[in-house]
Every structure is written in C-alpha cells, then in structure tokens.
Structure 1
C-alpha cells in the first residue's frame, strides 16, 4: 500500500477536544467567513451585478411590459438555478439586493462549515492542518462571481459530510432514500456541485467498501479494489437521477455553445496559482505558496500523513480538473472553477500522526488560524476599496430615469491584470434599480433563463459589447473604444455611459451631451444635435433633460 495512503486510524471519541476542534470554534470560523461581505452594499464579485439585473427581470417582467421589448425570459429546468430560485421567496421579504447579499454571505460560511465537517467525519477530530483550507472559501471562482456554482459547491461539501456521517452511523438505507431528492436539488442549483458530490461520494465509497474486506487473502487485493469499484458505483446510484435531467437539458434544440480548449496546460497551471486571486498579486501568490508548503509536509514530514479517504477524493478531483476543458457548452472557465476545491480537499486530507505532540498540533492550528485571519483581513480591505469604486460609479444612476435605454462601455486592458476593476457588469445595476435597458446581459440560450431580444441594438445588445479597450485584443470579442463609439446605433439608445474608458477621440462624442462625470467616467445623453444642448456640470452632476 502506498505510504501516502496509510490505513485510517481510529480516534477515541472520548478524548478531550482541543480549542480548534470544538463546535464553538467552528461557529466562530463560520461567522468570521462572513466578515468581508458585511460592509459592501453590493458584494463586489465580477459577474454578480449582471446576475442581479437578470433577477430583476425575472421578478418584474410581469408588471413592467416594456421589459418584454428588450428581453426574453422563459423558465426551464436547467442545472444553473440556485440563487434564481432562492430570491423568489426572499426578495419580497427583504428586497432583491438584501436577498442577494444574504445568499452570497452564506456561500463562504457554508464552505467553511462543510470543509470542517468533512474533516471531522474522516479524521474523528478536526486536524490542525484543516485550518489552512479555510481561506479557499474566498477562492478566485467566487471572486469572479460564479455564484450559483459557488453555492452548489458549498452545499455539496456539507452534503458530502452528511453522506460520510450516515455511512459511519450505518444508516445506508436512509441515506439512499434522502439523497435522491437532495442530489436533484443540488443539480438544479448548479450541475457542477452535483458532479463534485458524485466524485467525492464515489471515492469515499470505494475506500469504505475496500476496508470492509481488508481481512481477506492478501493475494486478492486487486480483486478487492475491482469489487470496491463496482460496489461504490452501486452505492452511489441514489445520486444518479440528475443524469436524466442533464441529458434532457443539453440535448434540446435551444442549447447553444461549444465545448473547446482541451488540455490547455499553461492555463491549468495558472488557475492553480490563482486560486486565492483577489487584488494584490504578491500577497495572493504568497498564500498559494504556503498552501503548497503544507501539502508538501504531508509527503516529506513523517509526523503528518494523508487520509486514504480524502487523499483518493483529491486525486479523483485532480483527474477531473486535468481532463476538463476550459469551455463547456459555451461556458468559459469550467476547469478553473474546480482548482480551489482540489486543493481544499487535499488540505483537509492531512492529519497529524501519533508522533506529533500536542504542542506541535496547537502550533500548527495557531498558524492555520493566523493564515485564515490574515487572508480575511486582506479580503475585507479589498472589498472596502471595491465598494468605494462601486459607490462612485453608481452616482450616475441618480440622473438616469426609469425605462431609459443605456449603452455602456467599460474600459479594460487586453492584458489580464491581476486586480480586476470589477466594474464590467456594474451597468446591470441600472436594470436592477431603474428597470433600464443595459447591454451587458449574457445571451446564451439554454444556459440561463434570459436572452436579449432588442434588435435595434444590433451588435450592442448583450455581453461582451460593454467591454472596450484601447486597441483590438487578440482572441477576444471586445471592441476598441473608438470603434464602439463610432458604430453603436444612436437611435437605439438614450444614454451612453463610459466607465473608466481608455483614451478616445472626443470627435466621436459629437451629438452626445455630458450630464455626469466622475474622473474619467462620463455619462452622455444622446441628442439629435449637439449645439446648444450641453448643460453645465455642477459638482460633477447635472439633471437629465
């Protein structure tokens, strides 16, 4: 047997709990995970404002018929409906923005509780090394705003912990019954969460089935693993029903989007290095480096070992990550999303051997806690700065009336800067707060409920038409800002909103009246004739006509 996967050791449940193993500590870590999101009005996640615009259409299109002129919204059973469904009961109670904020706060909280619960179920006690996995609750996929995906993974971690607990208690029949609807609900939240739960459950069942027969003849080991593989598959059948839903969803005529970019090794290496990506590159890379140092200790340090159960789970997830393409059915960054969870499962797979003293374990726990606290402090400061940039940009909303048709151009560089401005989908908050038309909504039939139908906007109807650059970017659909200003159909829009644009030719704004300005950002009203229509700016703001 490989030294990386020694037999599981049994920890006495009567042993005294150390401070990092108590329920109070888990509750404290869960609360701490929410801290960075408490201050911002809008969680500053790249794609989230765009999703919020879709939620507003979902809730308001029945009472605001003009939205039907711009967007087509049709409910269908797809594996990407997590927050879309949750806001239906929550938004009438607390408002859409608060509903979204509360759900988003729950994601890192549930991620932390799921990781610690899994660690406890596998090891018997939470090992000190598990604390190093907690900063991955704010991983790059979450920062990017893949909120349905992140919610489904947070739920999948907790469901996997319960799966393990029910097996430990011998309640296999109950587990088989209850996980049929739970797996379907998880698939509806996001397909990825269901898939990850299946991989984790299958690997755990393989170890459980093999260990049940470990007393048989040594020369039958190969047959034992083959039998364990078959029995694990049978044990995971309660998770299989969403496969039918998947086939029905992805085989429809309305489904669009390619699956491409296989085995892009450079990108896959970069995604691993970016698992903690937020704002400060040196800080984030240093955090990832520390995680790999901890993982390496499990191989080189004879006082720390890997659990066979979670070690196999991490290897299975790593294999999926390596095989998964970057684009699946038109949805980009498919493989990137999995990278943080491969590391998280590998980290909680670590545990101290008997040779590690209590003092050594306590020191390791203190270091893990300090690392988590430092990452949370950095994320809190980063979100505060992003919130300031959101607030500055959103002052433009005060001069835009309801039902306005707004084309927005958000500046960015061709180069992938480590710290995004996170303003690419801020224009969607016009749709969310003003029921105005914005050109940043995604329009991929079969991938979500909403598609753009505003034909007058032509090539400026949906994402990524809102992104502009200083020059043509290789391999991207983004327009240079001068091209966008010259080509957008003026008769289709009432306003033009430039958000931190690159330098552009002022001659292209003839016929546009500036009515709001903040730094390089400016809001123009589309006028028939520019002469004599310009209004003075007072403190950076003027009233619309």
Structure 2
C-alpha cells in the first residue's frame, strides 16, 4: 500500500545550479527555444487556421473593422465595444487587420497562441523546480488541446497569458518581492480578464494554491497559509466589478448542465481530439499516465506546489457546469490545462538520476514530436480542404445573402472544420451568412435579419440525420423550411448525396467532391421551366 507521505514532495525543490555549471540538454536555452519555435509549425501552412469556430470569429473581426464604413454590412450587423471578459484576440486582430487584412491578422495572432502557451508551461516548471524536469515535454502538446482545436481562441489566449503571469508570480515570490508583485498583478489581472474570464479565474486559482504552499513552507499552519494566500491573491480581484456590471446588462445566457458525468468522462478522453481517434485517445492516455507513473516510481514525485494547483483545477472541472452564461463547453476547456499542470509537477525526490532522467527526456520529446507531427499533418489536410471549399466564394457576388448548411455526420470523432466556414463569406464578400453567434452578454456583435427566421444565426447551419445523438434539423426539413426570399445562394458543405428535388428551386453553379454552391432560380424561370415541362410524357426522364 502506498502511503500519502510518499506521493508528494515533502521538501521544496532543490536549489538552482550555479551559473556556469553544465546543464543536461533538456534544461538549456536551445531546448527551450526549440520547443517554443516548434509550436509555430502546425499553423504555418494553412492560409486560415483550420479551427472549428475560427470562421465565426473572423466574421466578427470583419464587422468590427468595416461596419462603420460599409452600408452593406450595416444592413445586417452592428458592433460596439464593451468592457467584457471575452476580448482577447479581437483586441489584437482588429487594429492589425486595418493594416494587413483580417485573414493574415487572424493567422498571425492565432499562430502565436500555442508558442505563448508552451513558453508559459516551461517558465512555470522552471520556477517551481529551479530547473526544467526531463518530463516537461509531455505537457507541451496540450497547447494544441481540444479547446484550441475547437477555436476557443480568446480562451486559449487568456490561458497562455495566465501561464506566463503565473510564472512571473512564482518568480517574484521566490525572490521575495511580494510588494512589487502585488502592484504588478493589479493591471496583469485586468489584461488576462479582458482576454477571457476563464483565464483570469484560472490565474487566481493557480496563484492562490501556489502561495498557500509557499506560506506553509515558510512555517505557517495550513489554515494560516490559506488565509495569507487569499490576501496575496486578492490583488487580482478587481475585475469582479466588471463582471457584475457586465452581467447586470446582459440578458439570457443560461447556466446549466451541472455534473454531466457522461460528458466529463468523454472530455478527459478528448483532451487531444483532432482527427484520428486512436492516436488522440492514446495521446490522452499517455499524458494521464505520466503523473501516475511519477507517483508510484521510487525516484519520482510531484511538487506539492503544482500538484495542489492541478488538483484545484481538477476540482473546478468537476464542479463547473457544461454551459456558463450561455457559453458551451465551459468545463471541457480546463481539461488540458489541469493535465498539463500535473505533468509539470513531476520531479525527482532527491538528486537527479541522469540515466533515468535522460530516458524520460527522450521519451517526453519523442512524444512531443510525434504529437506535433500529427497535429501539423492534420492541419495541412484541413487547410487544403478548406482552401478548396472556399473557392466557392469566388462565385458569389459582394453583399449577397448566403444560406449555409453543414452536415453533422452524427458528430464523428474527427472535428468538423466547416461549422463556421460560411462566415468567411462575410470576410471576403461582405455577405450575410447564417452561422454567426450573437450570444447575449458574451459578444460585441449583433445580427439583425428577421426575414431569415430561424436561419438568422448559429446553429441553424448544422443539419443532421435522424438517429444522431444530438437533436436538430434533418437535412430535408432544413431545406424545406429555408425561407426562399431571404437568401440569394445556398452552400451545402460536407454534405452527403441528396435528391435533386430537395433543391429544385436552386441552380448548381460550383461543386467539389462533397460541397456544392447553388444560386436561387428566379420565380419567372421556374414558371417557364414548368411550362416547358408540361408536354413531357410520363416515361421521359426529367433533366
């Protein structure tokens, strides 16, 4: 039986090596630089980051940049800035887009998020252990975890900033500069908050838990350590005032689906969800197994500092509902970061055993490279397909009204990058599309096009077949109920074969293997076709 005293480190980390002392390769600056630079690689090739929600975000950036000067966009959209906790990438892309355009600005900003996340992880590990543990690279691929691949870019940016800020918090605490830290973390807390509320909340949890351990190591009882840690972390509490103001003006935005254990278990398995189920599941299993291996290995342990932080994030994951203020997947977002913190917590119980450390470092870097190769390949595949599908936009007129329907495929493991692909038509053609999400209290853009009815906003673009896990529009019903006069074009994306009569009022003008763009046939032409078809005999096939 394994006793608790042997599970976590009972002593603080060993002192840092003196300057000039040779370091193992996984602790050197070349290793750190290589890990950060490698995180840029997966998004170098695709013209647009092939993330699930990115099209909807880009549509919003386009509206923010041009709606004031575009009468076309003003027909359907409005935009006003508000001091809310969901602005991260918007605040960076919008001014940059005025110089280089929305697409390139989005790519540059989003591409920088994983390297920032990796840098934050490495800094945190360095500050806690006074060196980089050989297992650190096991955590780094989580920068491309499920939340990032889903396109939660404001959240992902806020978590990258939170990790970097946490590294600074640990460093200033280690140097005994608590007063300077208190002063700096007032504005830092606002920066992280404006990026995304979740990042700010996570930063508070990380700093509080780490400070509690530090205070206990200085000789205080656990109760006193907790009180003192709360006082230190309270310098980051001022954004609460903005939350109260924000939520008092917001309407809607429900919070529900508490303790949905089926989904919580699935999200653990899906921390790397991307394209290949077996590969992604095996990767998740490895990351979850690494801290457990450290707990049972006689020479390894977990730092109490990061172990407590990881456990706090895990407890928060359990307690969070699936939907918070109308924002879905609230709990899922924490999974990769809780796992990463627990991996970063691993260290040797005493002095480093270099034969074991070397093998661990090789295994960790090997895992990171294999995972990164898979992510890069997946992004390239998605980027090529996305570029091919977006050729459809060359065939629509500027200012058009485009109805987009994306076939769900009963939510297979491979992520659908096309859910909000239609919104790129807003970016390139100032078109109206039905896949924007003007969610109460969480976005700055409003959509107004009542003629579209249900097809005014997300998720009207998602269609499913009967028997799928999630209810929604069946393909035939969605086409039958589409308000004919509200749209000029119909774009069926990743669609299965359907009978021609389901779209008899539309004329195909462009197609690829599984996507087709159709243009509305004027009523006069339909009447003329029906008149010409009247003499046709019953045995003559329709064209």
User: Does TM, normalized by the shorter one, top 0.5?
Assistant: yes
For the 8 Å contact 1:407–1:438, the answer to whether it is kept is: yes
Taking structure 1 as the reference length, the TM-score comes to 0.93
Structure 1: which 5+ residue stretches go unaligned?
Answer: 215-223, 535-545
> Does residue 314 of structure 2 align to residue 318 of structure 1?
yes
User: 1 CA distance for matches of 2:23 and 2:255?
Assistant: 49
What displacement does 1:11 show?
2.4
1:539 maps to: none
What displacement does 1:511 show?
2.2
SS of 1:2 mapped into structure 2: helix
For the 8 Å contact 2:192–2:199, the answer to whether it is kept is: yes
What displacement does 1:456 show?
0.7
2:14 maps to: 10
What displacement does 1:159 show?
0.3
What displacement does 1:265 show?
1.2
User: 2 CA distance for matches of 1:89 and 1:421?
Assistant: 29
1:516 maps to: 510
What displacement does 1:310 show?
0.4
What displacement does 1:470 show?
2.4
How does 1:83-122 map onto structure 2 within 5 Å?
83-122=89-128
Find 1:228's aligned residue among 225, 237, 240. Answer: 225
Find 1:240's aligned residue among 224, 237, 240. Answer: 237
User: 1 CA distance for matches of 2:376 and 2:470?
Assistant: 34
For the 8 Å contact 1:513–1:533, the answer to whether it is kept is: no
> Does residue 304 of structure 2 align to residue 308 of structure 1?
yes
User: 1 CA distance for matches of 2:205 and 2:102?
Assistant: 34
The RMSD of aligned alpha carbons is 1.6
2:157 maps to: 151
2:461 maps to: 466
Structure 2: which 5+ residue stretches go unaligned?
Answer: 531-543
Find 1:528's aligned residue among 514, 522, 530. Answer: 522
Taking structure 2 as the reference length, the TM-score comes to 0.94
User: 2 CA distance for matches of 1:88 and 1:265?
Assistant: 39
What displacement does 1:168 show?
1.0
For the 8 Å contact 2:210–2:305, the answer to whether it is kept is: yes
2:354 maps to: 358
After TM superposition, the structure 1 stretch with the greater mean CA deviation from structure 2, 319-328 or 65-74, is: 65-74
Give CA-to-partner distance per residue, 1:512-543, whole Å, 9 cap, x none: 11111112321111122355789xxxxxxxxx
User: 2 CA distance for matches of 1:87 and 1:170?
Assistant: 37
After TM superposition, the structure 1 stretch with the greater mean CA deviation from structure 2, 348-357 or 273-282, is: 348-357
For the 8 Å contact 1:128–1:364, the answer to whether it is kept is: yes
1:295 maps to: 291
Find 2:172's aligned residue among 166, 169, 176. Answer: 166
SS of 1:62 mapped into structure 2: helix
User: 1 CA distance for matches of 2:275 and 2:243?
Assistant: 36
Find 2:424's aligned residue among 408, 426, 429. Answer: 429
What displacement does 1:128 show?
0.4
User: 2 CA distance for matches of 1:368 and 1:457?
Assistant: 52
User: 1 CA distance for matches of 2:63 and 2:467?
Assistant: 33
How many pairs are equivalent? Answer: 522
After TM superposition, the structure 1 stretch with the greater mean CA deviation from structure 2, 521-530 or 131-140, is: 521-530
For the 8 Å contact 2:212–2:228, the answer to whether it is kept is: yes
User: 2 CA distance for matches of 1:358 and 1:78?
Assistant: 49
Give CA-to-partner distance per residue, 1:377-411, whole Å, 9 cap, x none: 11111111101110111110111110001111111
What displacement does 1:475 show?
4.5
SS of 2:406 mapped into structure 1: strand
For the 8 Å contact 2:275–2:415, the answer to whether it is kept is: yes
User: 2 CA distance for matches of 1:22 and 1:93?
Assistant: 38
What displacement does 1:97 show?
1.1
Find 2:73's aligned residue among 67, 70, 73. Answer: 67
